[in-house]
Amino acid sequence: MSFDLFSFSRMGGLFFLTAIAELLGCYLPLLWLTGKGPIWLLVPAVLSLAAFVWLLTLHPAASGRVYASYGAVYIATALAWLYVVDGIKPVWSDYLGVALALGGAACIAFGHRQA
C-alpha cells in the first residue's frame, strides 16, 4: 500500500475540523457556566457538538486506529486553542507532549500497513 499525500492531508484536515467542532462545543458552555458568556451560547455549542458527531462519521473508518490518530490531532489543536483563544503560551513540555502524541499517532496509523 503506497503513501498518498493528498489522502493524508485530507484526513488531517478532517481531524482538525473535528477537533475544532469538539473544542468549540465544550468551550461555549464553559463560558456560560463561568459567567463569562450569555446562556444563548448553548445554542451554537449544541450545533458545534452535532457537527462534531457528524464529522466523526466522515472519518475513513470507525476503528481504534482512526480515533487514536484523531486524539493526537486533538491534543495539538487543543494546545493551539490554548494559545489563540485563551492567550496562554505553551511551554516546552506542551510542545514535547504534542510531538510525542503525533509521533505515536504516526506509528499507529502507518505501522499496520503491509509493504
CA distances to 27, 80, 94 from 83, rounded to whole Å, are: 14, 5, 11
pLDDT of 109 reads 75
Percent of the chain with pLDDT over 70: 86
pLDDT at 1 over 50: no
Measured between alpha carbons, how far is 53 from 13 in angstroms, rounded to an integer? 16
- For residue range 93-108, list pLDDT tens digits in order: 999 999 999 999 888 8
Rg (CA), the chain: 16
Q: What is the mean pLDDT of the chain?
A: 87
> E strands along the chain, which residues?
none
Give pTM, 2 decimals. Answer: 0.79
